[in-house]
Amino acid sequence: MPGTRDDLTRLRIALTAFFALDGFVFAGWVVRIPAIKEQTGASTSALGLALLGVSAGAVVTMTLTGRLVRRYGSHPVTVA
């Protein structure tokens, strides 16, 4: 666990940078959804179902990851 103020500042900056990068990647992908729909020829319902599958997969993965972290700790799970 970080103890000094400098450690906490570095962690905060790293976490902020990570979430900012994640936001940019997500925004870059979301604006491409209409083009992806057109290129694949998917119907609106098929594309919606595919996007729902991505979200459902994320929920399952987060649940599993939470259990793994509780059992083995955050560092081994992150490194693996």
| Predicted pLDDT of residue 1 | 54
Q: How many angstroms separate the CA atoms of 60 and 15, rounded?
A: 23
Task: Name the residue with tokens 């000094």.
Answer: 4
Q: What is the pLDDT of residues 24-78, one digit of tens each?
A: 999 999 999 999 999 999 999 999 999 999 999 999 999 999 999 999 999 999 8
Q: Quickly state the pLDDT bin for 6 (edges 50, 70, 90).
A: confident
| Predicted pLDDT of residue 2 | 55
**Residue whose C-alpha is closest to residue 36's, from 54, 50, 22:** 50
pTM above 0.85, yes or no: no
